[in-house]
Amino acid sequence: MMAKNSKTTKLERQIDENLRRVYSDLSEEPLPDRFVQLLDELRKQENSKSDTQSGEDS
């Protein structure tokens, strides 16, 4: 039974290392242009909402 635990632990360690490697590689890639455009649009909408709300308080 101990051998199974050792194999499982080694396998889990390998899985963890591979997941970390893949995530690290992905996190270094630039955002796709479409995502950047969407984020810009959301920021503009958020800014216009806050401008409208602050204008209502005046």
How many structural domains are present in the chain?
1
Residue that has been written with the tokens 């479409």 in this structure: 34
pLDDT recorded at residue 14: 95
pLDDT recorded at residue 55: 65
pLDDT recorded at residue 50: 80
* pLDDT one-digit tens code per residue, 6-45: 777 999 999 999 999 998 988 888 889 999 999 999 999 9
pLDDT recorded at residue 43: 94
DSSP calls for the chain: -HHHHHHHHHHHHHHHHHHHHHHHHHHTSPPPHHHHHHHHHHHHHHHHHHHHHHHHH-
Question: Which residues form the domain of 23?
Answer: 2-57
pTM: 0.45
pLDDT recorded at residue 13: 94
